[in-house]
Amino acid sequence: MEIRAERALLPDGWAERVRVTLEGDRIVAVAPDDAPGPRVACLLPGMANLHSHAFQRGFSGLTEARGPGTDSFWTWREMMYRFARSLTPDEAEAIAAMAYAEMLESGYTHVGEFHYLHHAPDGGPYDDPAEMSARIFAAAAATGIALTHLPVFYAHGGFGGAAVGAGQRRFLHDINGFARLVERCDALRRPGDVVGIAPHSLRAVTTAELRQLAQDHAGRPVHIHVAEQHREVEDCLAFSGRRPVELLFDTVAPGPDWCLIHATHLVPSEITALAGSGAVAGLCPITEANLGDGLFAAPAFLAAGGAFGIGTDSNVEIALAGELRLLEYGARLSGRVRNALALAEGSTGEALFRQALAGGARALGAAAAGIAPGAVADLVALADPLDLSVTGPQMLDRWVFGQDLRVETVWSRGRPVVSEGRHIARDAIVRDFSRAVAAVLERQG
């Protein structure tokens, strides 16, 4: 199969008027092409979404009403737990399929699913202890998105091994039970899928457990939530005398196979340590704004050579260009400058896209994404209804900051899964999703 493009973002620059030839799930050739005929306006490699909790798509927009006191991340978390409490495997699968279809429609072709809804509502295991993970694999397979499954280890309700609350009982494992889950997940992989691990946070995992997990599962991508909220920083200081990222580095020395989700609240020494470690900062700007987390110090982190990728996290809004835009706008608003994250002179959109592409692939344990012979054919075609003849970098700037461009076609492993901006199975996915969400809301009362 051939894709003809007006412009394509290649690993080392832009190509104008090219033909990309696919065979099976791979790109086999990238060649100049001047023949007349239709072309896509702009061809991009598919992006990694390095952090998702798919089930949270089910209550998108439904936690935005003010309660009796001051609302916060922690009051949101109670509402999230309420939704999670009774979710069935069928419902979880239907909601994940919706989220994954929308990710593909947005330009993501690979998702890191940080998965902790493991057990039945009473906390007991399902007959198949990997039942809920299997539903995530099924939703990924049905929609065509590549999956890095990140089963979560969760054991405590707060720092120092504090007791868990009722809302957390579906999440829990001991070290051995968790190892069995990881093994089962390996057996559920399709070609190209990856299984990593995710110690949930320094709140839910003790330092001893963290060391054990890193040792038992060496070689897999490791993701952890860290330093997202001020209260977490304060609790960590009270418990250990160290800040969360400090404590993490003292405990396990994260390297390039690690992804620190959020890492919002860092002091300069932590910025330097994280940037120099090769670990990826997993930034989720839309969710971080929605939850009132605070602003990641992106300019200082990038200046120190740090790597980042982007994630849709709570899936309150699934918007690839929107995540990159908000990341840049946070830096503009706090620094009172423009084009804050471009690293060098030139397109901010392209700089953001390339950095997130490289950091995201590393965090998900995937080969570097790119339009080149031998690479997996995960591709995104943008349409430009205005048909402006601008440069490739300007195309990315218009996509990230303007409103004219839209995702038209997405190929996952050589197969078109989004056509004319819609996932090919959208109607059935929406029907099952609506039914599932209605059932959960009905039970919630």
What is the Cα gyration radius of the chain?
Answer: 21
Longest CA–CA span in the chain (Å) reads 68
Cβ pair 132, 95 in contact under 8 A:
no
In angstroms, the CA 324 to CA 322 distance is: 5
Tell whether residue 53 is a contact of ligand NGQ (CB under 6 A).
yes
Could you say which of 6, 270, 313, 384 contacts ligand NGQ (CB under 6 A)? 313
Residue 77's binding partner among Zn ion, ligand NGQ, none (Cβ under 5 to 8 angstroms by kind) is: ligand NGQ
Q: Which does 223 bind (CB under 5 to 8 A by kind): ligand NGQ, Zn ion, none?
A: none
Q: Is residue 228 a contact point for ligand NGQ (CB under 6 A)?
A: yes
* DSSP H or E run through 117: none
Assess 264 for contact with ligand NGQ (CB under 6 A): no
Q: 210-223 burial string, b = 16+ CB within 10 Å, else e?
A: bebbbeebeebbbb
323 binds ligand NGQ (CB under 6 A): no
> What is the C-alpha to C-alpha distance for residues 90 and 436, in angstroms, rounded to an integer?
8
- Between 232 and 313, name the residue whose CB sits nearer to Zn ion: 313
Q: Total residues contacting ligand NGQ (rule CB under 6 A)?
A: 9
How many Å apart are CA 252 and CA 243, to the nearest integer?
14
115 is annotated as an active-site residue:
no
The amino acid sitting at 353 is F
Q: Does 77 bind ligand NGQ (CB under 6 A)?
A: yes
Q: Which of 313, 378, 397, 432 is catalytic?
A: 313
Shortest separation between residue 327's beta carbon and ligand NGQ, angstroms: 16
Question: Residue 5 CA to chain centroid, in angstroms?
Answer: 28
The minimum distance between CB 162 and ligand NGQ, in angstroms, equals 12
Q: What's the min distance (Å) between Cβ of 419 and ligand NGQ?
A: 32
Residue linked to tokens 């900051």: 401
The span from the CA of 441 to the CA of 445, in Å, is: 6
Q: Which of 118, 119, 223, 262 does the annotation list as catalytic?
A: 262
- The DSSP call for residue 263 is -
Find the shortest distance in angstroms from Cβ 150 to Zn ion. 10
Q: Which residue is nearest to ligand NGQ (CB)?
A: 53
- Terminal Cα-to-Cα distance of the chain (whole angstroms): 51
Q: Which of residues 304-343 bind Zn ion (CB under 5 A)?
A: 313
- Among all chains, which residue has been given the structure tokens 């056509």? 419
Least spacing, CB of residue 228 vs Zn ion, in Å: 8
Least distance to ligand NGQ, CB of residue 225, Å: 5
Question: Residue 19 has which token pair?
Answer: 């033909």
Q: Residue 201: which of Zn ion, ligand NGQ, none does it interact with, CB under 5 to 8 A by kind?
A: ligand NGQ
Q: Is 262 noted as a catalytic residue in this protein?
A: yes
Nearer to Zn ion, 313 or 408 (CB): 313
Phi, then psi, of 422 in degrees rounded to 5: -120, 140
Instruction: Report how far Cα 314 is from the mean position of its chain's Cα atoms.
Output: 10
Residues tagged active-site: 262, 313
> What residues line the site for Zn ion (CB under 5 A)?
313
> What residues line the site for ligand NGQ (CB under 6 A)?
53, 77, 201, 225, 228, 287, 291, 313-314
